[in-house]
Structure 1
Amino acid sequence: MPTVSVILPVYNGEEWIKDCISSITSQSVEDIEIIIVDDNSKDGSVDKIQDMNDSRIKLIRHDTNRGVPGARNTGIESARGDYICFIDQDDRWVEEKLEKQLQVFKDGDDRLGVVYGDVIIMDENTTLKQRLSTESVSESRLDRIKDIFLSNPPITITTMIKKKCFDLHGLLDDSLYGCDDYEFWLRIAGDFTFEYIPEPLAYKREHSKNTSGNINKMTEDRISIANEYINEYPQLRGVYKKRISDIYLIASYSHFIDRNMSESMKNIHRSIVADAYNVISSPARLIRMN
């Protein structure tokens, strides 16, 4: 049985998929399985995957497109490892990512559920641009939930997750758009702790094919999650307005990047209505939150 199950969703990712897979197969930890879920690609992704000669690769093909969370769930259901890691088709890992995270789990206690770190942003030519740092999560249960509720510290492509988290709390919610991972962190935070490694563990590629996607759907889903969790944890009510303001700020920034100035201004206004002081103090955090 492999120690780590790596789950890689693919959809029309032929341009960088080999580079991504190479960063997995070259990990210093060899006791892994690589579950690649092709989400009904229309390009040459499958051919490139099949060209990779590594017995640890398992290719699963969807006959319909189910989106990233749906593809990740297929991978989770097939996973045999004690730990699960996610990576996206155009990103890379540092060579010792898995080794460093397994050591943290070895040194931790049974409550430890997620180990994560920072990312380096790179462009489509693999030129390194900047380090995107995150932050640690509090140890105490309620503070831990509050930290994640407010800022979603774990960057998913850097995480290693104990399989038990999924066994106890279920799969990702694939009805959510672009925030299924955030909801999952909140779902498990009551039972599991998070450990931050303050160094880069992955490289995230920015390129011309990156899109903001359905910003309005993502915003609606983030607000729905916020409403759900303040009902479950009334202690979060004191920071609820700030969270809603942040959600609208993220939407405003995303619309701005897409050059949709009308929607960007609408969301700035909504953010001010939710928490005006938060808007004044937040600009430097926009890229991290997004």
Structure 2
Amino acid sequence: MLRLGPPRLSFVIPAWNQERFLAASVGSALSQTVHAIEVIVVNDASTDATALILEAIDDPRLVVLRSETNLGPGGARNLGMEAAQASIVAFLDADDVAAPERAERQLAFFDGHPDHVLVGSAYGVVDEKDNVLGVERPALLEDAELRFSSLFLSPVHLTSSAIRADVARRKAIVFPTDSKIVEDYRFVSSLIRHGKVANLQDVLTYYRRHDAMTSRLFEQQGWQGFAEASAANIRALGVECDGPLAARLAQAHLAKLRGLETDPLLEQLYDTLKALHASQEAP
């Protein structure tokens, strides 16, 4: 297959010892309904058959980068973004699968929304044998509600998301490399200061749950790192906040989304914070 002109979208896939699922992940990115793409796989010092699997894929749109030291997912994505030729970058993990129309849908969204820098989507959840376990649809879709929600949690599922990489480059926004747990949340929080964010209801990625996934590490280590990142976002509004308080506010936020009641004093603080955020976001 010959590439026709420069790519319109670059997939960035960090890969560390994912030989079981890597071929399916890369294959899904190369099988998009839009052909003007490139797929950048960052072999993050893998010690399994990752290199051999990538060598066996015969497609000029595949770009393989190798790091001799393990950078972690954030550092590997930074390396991929730096090499990306397209102005739009879509993130995918080496154990996940992109729906065939993902690039087409996200490119169409950016074409119609030049003020947006980030778009996520719904995603399916599959197990190790590709059985679909369910679908996670975003509770929030529009910029204003997503922007407030980002004080407490990521407004998008990163590996079903695409960004304007040209904006990230211009603003020197990269994934922090001091944590392998919340680097995506911190990256997204920085990026959406420079444009709008939205979610699509389309299922554009299939997210795999299995024993070796980094999300298990997140569950084991708890919410401490996430709460600290949330507290930093809240402090940026001029409100004193530490990790434990941010965690309680995040719980109140989730309760609100689900229509549940929360502690009255916590709800009052939450509502005050929401009003303050709205006043600072107003043009």
TM-score of the two chains, using structure 2 as the length reference: 0.80
- In the other structure, the counterpart of 1:164 is 166
The reply on whether 1:24 has 2:32 as its aligned counterpart is no
Using the TM superposition, give the Cα deviation of residue 46 of structure 1 relative to its aligned residue in structure 2, in angstroms.
0.8
Instruction: Determine helix, strand or coil for the equivalent of 2:225.
Output: helix
Deviation readout 1:79-138 (Å, 9 max, x if unpaired): 1111011111111011101101111111113x2111110111111111111001113354
Q: Quick check: 1:6–1:34 contact (8 Å CA) kept in 2?
A: yes
- In the other structure, the counterpart of 1:145 is 147
Q: Quick check: 1:114–1:162 contact (8 Å CA) kept in 2?
A: yes
Using the TM superposition, give the Cα deviation of residue 177 of structure 1 relative to its aligned residue in structure 2, in angstroms.
2.6
How many residues are aligned here? 250
Going from structure 1 to structure 2, the CA distance change for 1:151 and 1:222 (only over 3 Å counts) comes to closer
Going from structure 1 to structure 2, the CA distance change for 1:183 and 1:58 (only over 3 Å counts) comes to same
CA distance in 2, matches of 1:45, 1:182: 27
The reply on whether 1:39 has 2:41 as its aligned counterpart is no
Going from structure 1 to structure 2, the CA distance change for 1:45 and 1:248 (only over 3 Å counts) comes to farther
Using the TM superposition, give the Cα deviation of residue 181 of structure 1 relative to its aligned residue in structure 2, in angstroms.
1.1
RMSD over aligned Cα, in angstroms? 2.8
Using the TM superposition, give the Cα deviation of residue 4 of structure 1 relative to its aligned residue in structure 2, in angstroms.
0.9
Q: Quick check: 2:117–2:196 contact (8 Å CA) kept in 1?
A: yes
Using the TM superposition, give the Cα deviation of residue 226 of structure 1 relative to its aligned residue in structure 2, in angstroms.
2.2
Q: Which amino acid aligns with 1:148?
A: S
The reply on whether 1:220 has 2:224 as its aligned counterpart is yes
CA distance in 2, matches of 1:227, 1:105: 31
Instruction: Determine helix, strand or coil for the equivalent of 2:41.
Output: strand
Deviation readout 1:258-282 (Å, 9 max, x if unpaired): xxxxxxxxxxxxxx9x9699xxxxx
Q: Output aligned runs, 1:81-230, within 5 Å.
A: 81-109=86-114, 111-140=115-144, 144-167=146-169, 168-210=171-213, 212-213=216-217, 219-230=223-234
TM-score of the two chains, using structure 1 as the length reference: 0.78
Q: What runs of 5+ residues in structure 1 fail to find an aligned partner?
A: 250-271, 278-290
Q: Quick check: 2:123–2:137 contact (8 Å CA) kept in 1?
A: yes
Q: Quick check: 2:147–2:197 contact (8 Å CA) kept in 1?
A: no
Q: What runs of 5+ residues in structure 2 fail to find an aligned partner?
A: 1-5, 253-262, 269-283
CA distance in 1, matches of 2:108, 2:250: 35
Moved more, 61-70 or 180-189: 180-189
Using the TM superposition, give the Cα deviation of residue 247 of structure 1 relative to its aligned residue in structure 2, in angstroms.
6.6
More helix by share: 1
- In the other structure, the counterpart of 2:255 is none
Identity level (%): 21
Q: Which amino acid aligns with 2:19?
A: E
- In the other structure, the counterpart of 1:4 is 9
